[in-house]
Amino acid sequence: MVGHLAYDDSPSGRRPAVLLSHEGSGLDDHVRGRAERLAGLGYVAFALDYFGDGAQLTLEQAMERLAPVMADPTLTRRLGLAGLDVLLSQDVTDPDRVAAIGYCFGGTMTLELARSGADIKALVGFHPGLTTSPDSKNITGSVLMCVGTADPFLTLEQRLAFEQDMADAGVADWSLEVYGGVGHSFTNPRASEAGLPGLAFDAKADARSWDAMLRLFAETISA
């Protein structure tokens, strides 16, 4: 599988680490860039490639690739855990200070990774799919999901169901940031190139969600 590992090799010793999961169209420069950005802040960052070949996919290809993964939470968790294993195998990674973030379906993968019982101190989703699961009781880290009200792939009912899922599971620390009038893929400057309604970059929501993530990291894994 083709992933992207980034860290600053000038400091010595172990440092906090972040696992990144990409959008449904494949591992791209957007998520690689976020890994590099985190490396510049003192984290070890590994962007996994859950499709496995580094390809950029059309919408039709992406849906074909995603269908079996979306239908099988166990498979989703296995892919996330495989990426986590790579991150934890790095000599510079502090295994006690690990976070996971994801974009679009990558946000869903981050949730499923935490539901597997993995020791993730913080998990963040940007315009994710907000699935529910009885296994949410296994989440031990802090949860932050960032979504827009104009996301065509996320309904109000799904947001409310996710809130209920977190409450029912007894997740100790979770939050949902909701940005009014913001669509899907709001963190990706190239979102509109897909030509789909409801997909658009939003600089303000992008900056606010990134800052919210960094605040959570400061509370949980601190670079």
Any idea where the domains of the chain sit in the sequence?
4-220
* Contact indicator for 99, 17 with CB cutoff of 8 Å: yes
d(CA 51, CA 129): 18
| CATH code that applies to domain 4-220 | 3.40.50.1820
Percent of the chain whose predicted confidence (pLDDT) is above 70 = 99
Question: Is 169 a residue whose pLDDT tops 80?
Answer: yes
Mean pLDDT of 111-128: 98
* Contact indicator for 202, 179 with CB cutoff of 8 Å: yes
The pLDDT tens digits of the residues spanning 182-194 come to 999 999 999 998 8
Q: Please give the pLDDT value at position 223.
A: 62
Question: Which spans in 71-223 are helix H?
Answer: 73-88, 105-115, 156-169, 203-220
Confidence bin at 106 (pLDDT 50/70/90): very high
The pTM of the full predicted model, rounded to 2 decimals, is 0.96
